[in-house]
């Protein structure tokens, strides 16, 4: 009999690899006892990554959610682990050092045992501080190698990275094969190389989409891997993870000691997952995300991103087809857009220095590719819209890129007067907790047990404010109802008359559109005068959510402010990225047409400049 291999259930990532959301806390607490009863998990991933932002979007308190969700596993002696994005903490953009330190203190107090820290650029300078923060909080520091497949990401590259992290004090190493495109033999060599440096625990995380990961699991176990991340039906395979039952059977046949599974409890968990999907979570899960797809090999996009990607694709397709409709051009189909996106990712990725395709840099590369596709479909050139966070990646402010930038990117940066950075990335983001303490005091908000509410506000300022105001929950519930109505509508609903407002030669008219002949009421043809405001419109270049600022360090513009061409006005948050909107002219802001957090469509008026 070979050595023991243990299993970790990546319950958070199962959901976020399939769709947009994870279960509410009442659902998490309901399923936890059955997961414990399965008796086969040494570890469960309970939080991290986008987990807490999802709580805020629900209108839930994420700190209460983490405490309630981790407790049953602690009581049962099962370790809990979470995902930490190093310099970015739990969000898509960099975090001040004092917020990162508080992060570890809070998570330990809430019941998290292990932090799985990764840098989306594999820059160990961003990871090493987290080792110290974890140890100071009494946590296990598991450091990740973000696996991708490119000319610069060799076995030697990864073994050397692991050596630096082990020498810096990492307790464990995670092989984070987030897109499942690591080649099995190479992964085995990486694990063997780590074990030669030091015999510390190694955990393998992978996604099933491209089809390599069952072979990869066997290879890494042969090389000495100790823990395997698994999913379970009905959220395994596809953009998710290998299924527990298949992995157990494969490793047992290969002679490894693997835990038995209480199948009665397994069926309970399986039924509860389906119940949660039927409640509302399934509304955000594309059926395509259940499928294996070898097309994912070329773009190398991570499984954890594919869930949200398919949801984003719908709005991007709508934007493109609105443009085509105005010009009587043939509509694009979703499959066409998906292939164009994958091809553009393959074009963009090497030109921006081969960042490992993991959060947030997978989103940055995908967003760049999507913006390029949208621009080119609308007759414009590539690289027209690059968000500030993406520029930070390109310029080195988030860490060192593994590869070289293409001349066209360097030329664009120099043309726009952007400066490249070669120092320590953390130096770009000064401490901010005192400012957030002051803001919370002004708002009469409690700092929370172990300063957890302070941490949440500092980590997710825009989402936290929307949560506190109640707007987040209101928007979420409205979106759920809209999706339910769309799901439940009958085929005849599409044939019912719909009233729309259209513009002809600058005048707005209300028209009724329907299939077949109908009698139009007199009011349906009434002319509607479009509202006319003073000043030049600042239109939204894409669909998303409107924000005046993205953190407490920024001062929002207000009506009456004078601005110059190129000045920052606001942001549109789309596809997890804040896209800066800048003034096209000199002038004075005469109107701000939206409230922070409002949803906007392309061409909606954000502000007016007179």
d(CA 344, CA 557): 35
| Tens digits of residue pLDDT in 428-439 | 999 999 999 999
Which pLDDT value is given to residue 512? Answer: 52
SS (H, E, C) 267-307: HHHHHHHHHHHHHCHHHHCCHHHHCCCHHHHCCCCCHHHHH
What is the model's pLDDT at position 275? 96
Residue 209 pLDDT > 70, yes or no?
A: yes
Q: Token pair for residue 141? A: 């520091």
More confident residue, 553 or 69: 69
CA atoms within 13 A on the CB side of 263: 2
Task: Tell me: pLDDT of 24 over 60.
Answer: yes
pLDDT of residue 234: 93
Q: Please give the Cα distance from 242 to 219 (Å, whole number).
A: 14
CB 538 within 8 A of CB 572: no
Residue 461 phi/psi, 5-degree rounding, is -60, -50
- On the question of pLDDT at 584 being above 50, the answer is yes
Give me the pLDDT at residue 525, please: 35
Grade residue 511 by pLDDT with cuts at 50, 70 and 90: low
Q: In this predicted model, which residue has the larger pLDDT, 152 or 500? A: 152
Kindly tell me if the per-residue pLDDT of 68 is higher than 90: yes
pLDDT digit string, tens, across residues 320-361: 888 888 888 889 888 888 888 888 988 999 999 999 888 888
* Mean pLDDT for the chain overall: 88
Residue 375 has pLDDT above 80, yes or no: yes
pLDDT for res 339: 85
Looking at residue 223, the DSSP 8-state letter turns out to be T
Average pLDDT over residues 219-225: 98
Backbone angles phi, psi at 281, to 5 degrees: -65, -30
Decide: helix, strand or coil at residue 38: helix
Q: pLDDT digits over 223-259, tens only? A: 999 999 999 999 999 889 999 999 999 999 999 999 9
In this model, does residue 524 exceed pLDDT 60?
A: no
- Would the pLDDT of 513 be above 70? no
Q: Are 348 and 386 in contact, with CB atoms under 8 Å apart?
A: no
Mean predicted confidence (pLDDT) in 40-60: 89
Contacts of range 242-248, beta carbons closer than 8 Å, 24 or more positions apart: 242/206, 242/208, 242/213, 242/214, 242/217, 244/7, 244/9, 244/40, 246/214, 247/7, 247/214, 247/217, 248/7, 248/40
Is-contact 205 176, C-beta < 8 A? yes
Please give the residue that has the higher pLDDT: either 411 or 1. 411
Residue 532 has pLDDT above 60, yes or no: no
Global pTM value = 0.81
Q: Which residue segments constitute the domains of the chain, with CATH numbers given? A: 6-285 (3.20.20.70), 490-532 (no CATH), 533-610 (2.40.50.100)
Cα gap 231→184, rounded to integer Å: 19
Q: Is the pLDDT of residue 29 over 80?
A: yes
- Please tell me the distance from the alpha carbon of residue 116 to that of residue 46, in angstroms, as a whole number: 12
pLDDT, position 303: 59
How many CB atoms sit inside 10 A of residue 263's CB? Answer: 11
CB environment 49-58: b (16+ within 10 A), e (fewer): bbbbbbbbbb
The string of pLDDT tens digits covering residues 272-327 is 999 999 999 998 888 877 777 777 777 676 655 665 566 667 777 887 888 888 88
| The pLDDT value given to residue 302 | 66
The residue to which tokens 């997961």 are assigned: 35
207: tokens are 């996604």
Residue of 384 and 130 predicted with greater confidence: 130
- Residue 374: per-residue pLDDT: 87
Q: What are the residue ranges of helices labelled H in 416-542?
A: 433-443, 452-459, 461-469, 471-488
- Of 106-110, 510-514, 581-585, the poorest mean pLDDT is in 510-514
What average pLDDT score do residues 117-125 get?
95
| Residues whose CB is less than 8 angstroms from the CB of residue 107 and which lie 6 or more positions away in sequence, other chains included | 47, 66, 82, 115, 137, 139
Estimate to the nearest angstrom the gap between the alpha carbon of 26 and the chain centroid: 23
Tell me the pLDDT band of 494, cut-offs 50, 70 and 90: low
DSSP-derived letter for residue 493 is G
């Amino acid at each position: 009999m070979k050595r023991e291999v243990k299993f970790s259930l990546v319950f958070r990532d199962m959901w976020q690899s399939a769709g947009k959301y994870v279960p509410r806390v009442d659902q998490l607490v309901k399923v936890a006892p059955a997961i414990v009863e399965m008796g086969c998990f040494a570890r469960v991933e309970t939080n991290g990554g986008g987990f807490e932002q999802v709580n805020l979007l629900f209108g839930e308190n994420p700190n209460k959610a983490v405490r309630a969700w981790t407790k049953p596993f602690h009581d049962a002696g099962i370790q809990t682990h979470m995902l930490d994005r190093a310099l970015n903490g739990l969000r898509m953009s960099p975090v001040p050092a004092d917020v990162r330190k508080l992060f570890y203190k809070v998570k330990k107090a809430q019941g998290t045992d292990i932090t799985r820290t990764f840098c989306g650029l594999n820059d160990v300078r961003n990871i090493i501080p987290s080792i110290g923060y974890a140890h100071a909080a009494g946590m296990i520091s598991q450091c990740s190698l973000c696996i991708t497949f490119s000319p610069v990401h060799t076995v030697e590259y990864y073994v050397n990275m692991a050596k630096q992290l082990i020498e810096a004090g990492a307790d464990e190493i995670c092989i984070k094969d987030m897109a499942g495109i690591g080649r099995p033999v190479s992964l085995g060599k990486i694990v063997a190389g780590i074990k030669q440096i030091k015999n510390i625990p190694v955990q393998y995380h992978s996604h099933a989409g491209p089809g390599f990961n069952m072979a990869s699991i066997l290879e890494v176990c042969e090389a000495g891997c100790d823990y395997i991340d698994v999913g379970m039906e009905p959220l395994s395979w596809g953009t998710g993870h290998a299924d527990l039952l298949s992995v157990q059977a494969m490793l047992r046949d290969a002679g490894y000691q693997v835990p038995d599974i209480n199948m009665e409890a397994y069926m309970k968990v399986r039924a509860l997952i389906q119940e949660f999907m039927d409640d509302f979570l399934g509304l955000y899960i594309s059926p395509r995300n259940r499928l294996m797809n070898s097309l994912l090999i070329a773009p190398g996009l991570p499984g954890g991103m594919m869930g949200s990607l398919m949801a984003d694709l719908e709005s991007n397709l709508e934007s493109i087809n609105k443009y085509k409709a105005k010009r009587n051009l043939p509509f694009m189909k979703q499959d066409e857009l998906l292939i164009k996106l994958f091809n553009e990712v393959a074009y963009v990725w090497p030109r921006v220095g081969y960042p490992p395709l993991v959060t947030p840099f997978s989103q940055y590369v995908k967003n760049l590719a999507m913006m390029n596709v949208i621009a080119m479909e609308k007759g414009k050139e590539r690289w027209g819209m690059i968000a500030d966070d993406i520029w930070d990646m390109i310029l080195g402010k988030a860490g060192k890129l593994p590869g070289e930038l293409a001349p066209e990117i360097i030329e664009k940066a120099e043309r726009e007067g952007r400066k490249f950075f070669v120092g320590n990335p953390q130096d770009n983001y000064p401490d901010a907790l005192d400012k957030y303490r002051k803001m919370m005091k002004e708002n009469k908000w409690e700092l929370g047990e172990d300063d957890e509410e302070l941490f949440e506000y500092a980590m997710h300022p825009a989402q936290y404010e929307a949560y506190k105001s109640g707007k987040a929950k209101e928007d979420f519930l409205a979106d759920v109802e809209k999706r339910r109505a769309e799901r439940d509508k009958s085929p005849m609903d599409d044939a019912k008359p719909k009233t729309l407002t259209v513009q002809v030669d600058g005048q707005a008219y209300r028209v009724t559109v329907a299939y077949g002949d109908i009698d139009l009421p007199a009011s349906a043809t009434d002319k509607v005068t479009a509202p006319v405001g003073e000043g030049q419109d600042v239109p939204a270049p894409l669909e998303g959510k409107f924000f005046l600022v993205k953190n407490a360090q920024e001062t929002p513009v207000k009506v009456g402010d004078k601005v110059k061409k190129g000045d920052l006005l606001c942001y549109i948050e789309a596809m997890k990225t804040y896209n800066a909107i800048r003034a096209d002219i000199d002038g004075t802001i005469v109107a701000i047409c939206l409230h922070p957090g409002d949803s906007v469509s392309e061409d909606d008026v954000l502000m007016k400049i007179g």
